[in-house]
């Protein structure tokens, strides 16, 4: 089987400044004070009232292009993965492309596959860059995750973005050596087109969806590459909460040392399309030449990808060209439920 290879040339992240303590959600909705403790998340990042998935994706992409050290016009495809796009019809990718100076000679589209749409964009870009169809492509994962107020999902649904410039392997900061995708029809989580908030098929969330798909994608990648979990320096999984990624990692044979740097959800909640990808951005902020990374995003509905990524010595030249994930993590303003409700349009205003 042909295995086209591509490289990551730039990476970038964005986390809004506002944080809502989960204890505030529990108080407002009358949950047991310990209700959210099992999620291993204490605060969640909230986009401000002038932010949406598009503005957050713009900043992550700006950071990724700064690190890639390329003219924006060299980007030949923009894939914007989100499940909270500001327009149902009107591509966010063209607005981001215009604002970043990439338009007009580029492909541009918004992708949807719950939390793994941006990862689908990355897989597409691998083939497009390796084949020579484009010089560089931009994959962006960004979400202002929605949750029905009072639903258990509200504890973790957070806001954030991550972006990657993908191109040929030469001069890349990391080589995507191989990747696998595993999808099935699974009713674990959905949002109908006219509905503001998603629903979840309770019994399907864990084993039949998250664990089944990630484990199959990762095991297939390991078999195909002949690698063992101990061959990796980092392992990054989709992070709907702080608990699932640790359990799936341990079930697959990875340890906490391999997983800790890629775990971002315990600090800011689940940023959906940016969840695992922000973990990758944080790992690249820290990684050294020659290190091996396993990346496994997941999206409901359901599917998972598994990537084998090897870091090159070029990574050191790019780290300081844009803010790091920890710069965004350390910058925060605590808000209360009322401010969150206003900025996320939970209070219905007649306009």
Partner 1 sequence: MSMDLSISRFWRKKEIIYKLNGAKCKSCGKVHYPPKNACPYCGSRDLEYIELPRKGKLISYTTIYAIPEGARSQSPIYFGLIDLGITKITAELTDITDPSILKKDMEVEATLRKTQEDRDAGLIYYVLKFRPVLVQK
Catalytic residues: 83, 115, 238
- Out of 58, 232, 298, 340, the only residue in the binding site for partner 1 (CB under 8 A) is 58
DSSP 285-309: HH--TT-EEEEE-EETTTEEEEEEE
Stretch that binds partner 1, among 138-146, 190-198, 276-284, 338-346 (CB under 8 A): 338-346
Q: What are phi and psi of 234, to 5 degrees?
A: -135, 145
- Out of 4, 5, 23, 86, the only residue in the binding site for partner 1 (CB under 8 A) is 86
* 256-275 residues near partner 1, rule: CB under 8 A: none
Q: Interface with partner 1 includes 71 (CB under 8 A)?
A: no
Q: Interface with partner 1 includes 342 (CB under 8 A)?
A: yes
Q: Interface with partner 1 includes 143 (CB under 8 A)?
A: no
Give the integer Cα–Cα distance in Å for 259 and 272: 18
Among 8, 41, 12, 13, CA closest to 25: 41
- Out of 50, 89, 194, 230, the only residue in the binding site for partner 1 (CB under 8 A) is 50
Output the smallest distance, CB 319 to partner 1, in A. 12
- Out of 51, 83, 177, 188, the only residue in the binding site for partner 1 (CB under 8 A) is 51
Q: Interface with partner 1 includes 127 (CB under 8 A)?
A: no
DSSP 110-136: EE-BTBTHHHHHHHHHHHHHHHTS-SE
Q: Interface with partner 1 includes 52 (CB under 8 A)?
A: yes
- Out of 8, 78, 95, 122, the only residue in the binding site for partner 1 (CB under 8 A) is 95
Give the integer Cα–Cα distance in Å for 131 and 179: 16
**How many residues sit close enough to partner 1 to count as binding (CB under 8 A)?**
27
Give the integer Cα–Cα distance in Å for 175 and 224: 17
Q: How many helices (H) and strands (E) does the chain have?
A: 12, 15
If residue 21 lies in a helix (H) or strand (E), which one and from where to where? strand 18-21
Among 17, 18, 20, CA closest to 337: 20
Q: Interface with partner 1 includes 345 (CB under 8 A)?
A: yes
Residues that bind partner 1 (CB under 8 A): 17, 48-52, 54-55, 58-59, 86-87, 95, 98-99, 101, 323, 327-328, 331, 333, 335, 342-343, 345, 349, 351
């Amino acid at each position: 089987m042909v295995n086209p290879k591509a490289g990551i040339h730039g990476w970038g992240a964005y986390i809004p400044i506002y944080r809502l303590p989960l204890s505030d959600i529990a108080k407002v909705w009358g949950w047991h004070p310990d209700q959210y403790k099992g999620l291993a998340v204490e605060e969640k990042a909230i986009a401000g009232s002038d932010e949406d998935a598009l503005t957050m994706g713009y900043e992550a992409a700006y950071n990724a292009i700064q690190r890639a050290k390329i003219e924006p016009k060299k980007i030949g495809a923009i894939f914007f993965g989100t499940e909270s796009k500001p327009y149902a019809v009107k591509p966010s990718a063209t607005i981001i492309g215009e604002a970043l100076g990439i338009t007009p000679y580029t492909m541009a589209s918004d992708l949807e596959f719950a939390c793994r749409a941006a990862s689908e964009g990355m897989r597409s870009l691998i083939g497009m860059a390796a084949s020579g169809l484009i010089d560089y492509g931009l994959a962006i994962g960004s979400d202002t995750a929605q949750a029905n107020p009072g639903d258990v999902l509200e504890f973790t649904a957070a806001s954030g973005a991550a972006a990657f410039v993908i191109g040929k392997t030469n001069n890349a900061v990391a080589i995507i050596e191989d990747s696998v995708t595993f999808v099935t029809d699974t009713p674990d989580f959905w949002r109908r087109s006219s509905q503001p908030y998603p629903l979840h098929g309770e019994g399907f969330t864990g084993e039949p969806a998250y664990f089944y798909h990630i484990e199959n994608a990762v095991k297939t990648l390991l078999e195909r590459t002949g690698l063992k979990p101990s061959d990796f320096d980092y392992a990054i999984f989709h992070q709907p909460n702080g608990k699932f990624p640790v359990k799936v990692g341990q079930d697959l044979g990875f340890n906490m040392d391999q997983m800790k740097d890629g775990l971002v959800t315990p600090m800011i909640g689940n940023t959906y399309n940016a969840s695992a990808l922000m973990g990758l951005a944080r790992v690249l902020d820290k990684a050294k030449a020659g290190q091996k990374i396993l990346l496994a995003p997941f999206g409901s509905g359901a599917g998972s990808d598994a990537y084998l990524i090897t870091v090159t010595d070029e990574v050191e030249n790019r780290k300081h060209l844009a803010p790091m994930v920890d710069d965004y993590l350390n910058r925060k303003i605590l808000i209360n439920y009322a401010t969150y409700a206003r900025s996320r349009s939970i209070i219905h205003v007649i306009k």
